[in-house]
Each structure stands twice: as C-alpha cells, then as structure tokens.
Structure 1
Amino acid sequence: MAVKFDKKELGDKLVVTIHGEIDAYHSAEVKKFIKDSINETKLSKIVLDMSEVNYIDSAGLGSLVALYKDARMAEKEFVLAGLKQTVMRIFEMTRLDRVFKIVQTVEEA
C-alpha cells in the first residue's frame, strides 16, 4: 500500500496527515516529506496526524525519532496525534511515549 500525505495549516500549527504504513518500505519517503515540511513552514508547531496509520515498524520509529530531532533543531514543537491502539502499544513498548508528546486529537495539540 502506497503512503500518502495531506498537509494543512490550522491556526498556529502545520498538520501533516499520513495515510498508510510507516515501515521499512515507506519510512524514507515519510521522513523526506515531513523534513521538507518542517523546513518550509514558519509555524512553530508540527502535528503529525497518525489516525490513518495502521502499522509502524522499527524503521518507521527511527524516522520519527530523526524527525523529532530535526524539529527540535529548527526550534519547532513536534506532536503526534490520533494514534491507533496498535500503534500506540508499540510506542509504549519502546518507551517512546515518554519522548514524544502524544495527544488523542489534532485539536488537542
């Protein structure tokens, strides 16, 4: 399944919605799109809407950690929103739920 993106500005935040899986096949594409979005926007908050992501693997997690660092270097807040239970469980098992700011909905970010 191909990965797709939607990008929109909502008030003070840039919301990037990912549709598909963040796995070894797609993580480089995800990373490039979001890194470009971080560098292009003047907004101080990047919200990754992951409500359409059904699966993430270690390559995907690695990409998100790298993007988190990129956002911090650019002095921008990086927030994950709308994680499905199966995806959230992986963040909890790897303890990355303590690294990322994770919210239920994009509006909460």
Structure 2
Amino acid sequence: MEMKKLGDIVLFKVPEEMELTNAQDIKRFVYENSFDKGLKKVILDFSETKYIDSTGLGTMVALHKQALMNAGAVVFLNLDSNIKNLLKMTALDRILNIYDNEREAIEFLNK
C-alpha cells in the first residue's frame, strides 16, 4: 500500500479491492503508520479501488472511530460511484468524511 506524508497528514492509496483477504492488513498498515505514531489526520485515497465488501466497510468505520478517539479525522477520497452507493445504502455516507477533491480534504483536516 502506497503512503505519502503531506505535512502532518498521511495519505494512503487503497488497493483495487478492500475485502476479507486484505482489509485487516490495510487497517494494520494505516494504524502503524499514522495513529501509532501520533499522527491524527489521515486521507484514504480510493481512486484505484473498485470493490469493497462488508469487511472493507467495517475497516472504514474502525479507522473513522480510531481517528475520533485520537481527536483526529479520516477522510475517504475519490470513491467511485458503486462504493458511494454502497455507503448511501448503509447510511455510512452520513457519518464518514467523504471528499472527491484532495484540496478540499486537506482543508477539512486542517480546520
């Protein structure tokens, strides 16, 4: 999983799929490279992600909760229409921080 730092923000590129076989590894990688190091602002870039199952959704919620517990935030960036529809159906679009533009995501995190 690709990662880059943007000041005090860490951006992670999510792979093509986020599902049962890799969701825990993704969560662990994000924790180890952000929350465990005291970094509280995280962007997950889904520009290459085409499929998410219920385990992937659970991972998104877990990362969101962990950020809130650390007085931080996670932004979910560049979700494709299928993933956005899935989040709408599960009402997670009302809870998660979803952006289509990296600049807006960074502005939100720097508020």
The interval holding the TM-score normalised by the smaller chain is 0.7 to 0.9
Deviation per residue, 1:52-96 (Å, 9 max, x gap): 110001111011111111111111111100001111111111010
Matching residue of 1:55: 51
Spell out structure 1 runs of 4+ moving beyond 6 A.
none
Unpaired stretches in structure 1, ≥5 consecutive residues? none
Q: CA deviation at 1:42?
A: 4.3
Matching residue of 1:100: 96
Q: Could you say if the C-alpha distance between residues 40 and 68 of structure 1 is closer, same or farther in structure 2, counting changes exceeding 3 Å?
A: same
Q: CA deviation at 1:30?
A: 1.1
Secondary structure of the residue aligned to 2:74 is: strand
Give the letter aligned to residue 8 of structure 1: K
Unpaired stretches in structure 2, ≥5 consecutive residues? 106-111
Matching residue of 1:29: 25
Within 5 A, what are the aligned runs for 1:1-109?
5-109=1-105
Secondary structure of the residue aligned to 2:14 is: strand
Q: Aligned residues: percent identity?
A: 34
Q: 1:38·1:71 contact (CA, 8 Å) conserved in 2?
A: no
How many matched pairs?
105
Q: When the two structures are superposed, what TM-score results if normalisation uses the length of structure 2? A: 0.86
Between Structure 1 and Structure 2, the one with more strand by share is 1
Q: When the two structures are superposed, what TM-score results if normalisation uses the length of structure 1? A: 0.87
